[in-house]
Structure 1
Amino acid sequence: MEAKTIAMSLSGDRLLILPTSPRSSFVSPARFSRLPLKRACIGGVASGSGVDGYRGLARTRWNPIDSTRHRLVPVRAIDSDLPHPIHQGSSGLGKIKEYEEWDSWTAKFSGAANVPFLMLQLPQIILNAQNLLAGNNTALSAVPWMGMLTGLLGNLSLLSYFAKKREKEAAVVQTLGVISTYVVLAQLTMAEAMPLQYFVATSVVVTIGLILNCLYYFGKLSTTLWRLWEDFITVGGLSVLPQIMWSTFVPLVPNSILPGTTAFVIAVAAVIMARTGKLSEEGVRFFGSLSGWTATLMFMWMPISQMWTNFLNPENIKGLSPITMVLAMMGNGLMIPRALFIRDLMWFTGSIWGTLFYGYGNILCLYVYNCTSKSFFVAATVGLISWLGLALWRDAVAYSHNSPFRSLKELVFGP
């Protein structure tokens, strides 16, 4: 996911800054040779979690003959960042074909999500460049650098999440998200809209983060260094999220850094307990999933912030573009089938939330305030319902379920 802001011209020199929807792609083609899979053990699932579990897993090459015996098993949400275990069983060739076809299609849908997200990203960078060339540095002050910095932290957290899962395509998407956000921050620094010392610190974190993730993905990084990096992004995410949520409701609530400070102390205490063996195995695994969840929750909060703004200032909704909201709905919606298919609750939660509350939610607001036509609203509604229905139906067919709701049950509670 990737936090952006779009500056939309209202009239004259007025600009409306809109955060774009989270971006990320869960692209994992049917070529399972890229996935480090765990073999099923008789009497239980092969153990292994976190970094140590990864280093003990051998890569398994996908064999078309063996494909009739191996299928992915849904995993619990707490294990979303681990490779998906497989079990052995028998199934008809027809069912296996349907499974593989839907696996391939969901990967293609996730990859296609890059198109609408790309169309949402470029305007801000282009607009900033034009203002810089024209010497209009004041215009860049309208872009909230703290919001962009928060999005950058979210991208780094998700980059680590996908690097840990060995999801190359999704990791590349997050890397591009980090770089594009960094470009915007560089533009803001050039316009003196962002303090230089913060930009220098950001540059150090971005450089270290990209290098560590690259080394870890290729197996060139020690477990100790990777754990230190995970602790850093976990503490950062847990500290920033409560502060963002609190700041949304200022001035209805006092302007205070107490939420962020309190969360920081709790996060540091959790890190110390996890690394000194004071947490149970279940607690350690839960702690390991926090960085990905906090990044997801950061992006999930964006539509709440936007809709809260719409509620306080209904006139501002006229500055929202219906096409922009459709692109946001499409980008998130295209990732839903893949997240459901691989039973990644964290990814599914972020995607469905962005689709319903950021994309469709703002389209609904536009319709309520007569800022878009009835036919446009009906088309968006029918398209969304049809797409969600298709995703549930095809997933049930791929897994040979009698009911599409069983897929949702497995997503939340496991098999």
Structure 2
Amino acid sequence: MTVAGTLRTLLETTLASSAAVLAVLALRGVLRAGFGARIAYAAWSLVPATLLAVLLPAASEEAAPAPVLAFIAEALPRTPASEGGPTLDTAAWWLAAWLMGVVATGLWFAARQRGFSRALGHVRPRDDGMHQAESVAGLPAAVGLWRPRIVVPVDFDVRYSEEERVLLREHEHQHLAHGDLRLNGLMALLRCVFWFNPLLHFAARHFRQDQELACDQRVMARHPASRRAYGEAMLKTQLAMQPWPLGCHWNSSHPLKERILMLKHPLPSFRRRLSGSACVLALTLTGGYAAWAAQPNEDAAAQLPAGSIHVKAVLRLNGGEPRTTTFVTEPGASILLTDSADGHEWAVDATVKQGMGNRPDVLVLEASIKRDGQVVAKPRLGVLSGQSGTIRTNSDEHVDGKPEAFELQVTMTAAEAGT
């Protein structure tokens, strides 16, 4: 993938993930009230689903040797490019800045995780299968991505009653059984990749809150008569100010009051949870399909023979409906586009070339625009492969009191080497 292609993919995934996060933030309260905390937590699956959908190949669009006219509606913004526009060097600097941000964010998470691990002191195994640390802050907790384990504080046997210890162990076991540690690792990875998106960092806090509420409900489903003891165990557990990125722990950032109040609510019935699961599945499938369908189509160009160029031209006359023409051409071959508006005939006689000066990666469109057979402009447009540029001209003639307007947006993509 080219530098420009990488940045374009990053933009598309950022838009898709942001839309998914906003949808979940808007619906999580409704889902929790109607179907329970476990369903609200499951709704976060919409975020990775939309990201995967964007990364899937777009719907194929056959490239035709002759113009094929059709109405279109762009679903994602394109970056205009011209001879005086962004260069490959600029794109490379943006990519380098993004990579530095990814590394810096990853190091920050690693430092926080390492700081917590070192603060535990010596961790020894217990007879009950759990592990006991020399400290109390942030414990009990489930830790470890590859070899997960439950770590309890040094005063675990003193601070909690026998019933409370059983509930605490069940809570952390539920985190392990449902893969919450790996999901937290995935969230940390997404925050590294999209470090520049504050919405994702904001969503991470609510994701962890829904995770803890869902775990509470799973524990109550297995120990329905232990609500009071469970609440007392919460009160006895110290609340840490900043959770580490890759653990599941009782001292989460979720308000303790809300967790205790949730214990008073009756558990949702199986039918309600089933209905909620169906709603989340429908939401995930719909969101994933919408993200996939909104992708700009570039498959046709990727499958062209080496040396050919895929051209997508969108022509709009006098602010009317846009028309798109897609076709395949060879460097130096002549291209002819024609259309009419308000009684006038327009024609674009153009040639596509590869390379401009010392920039062999630039595709150049040299065009002659004619109105009723008379040349009105001879523009020259240069873009990087896969990017789009726009040509606009205005004539002295007026239609309904406005100057005639000609707009041609062109996206040119060179076939990949070796295809």
**TM-score, normalised with respect to structure 2:** 0.23
Q: Which has the larger radius of gyration?
A: 2
Q: Select the structure that is richer in strand.
A: 2
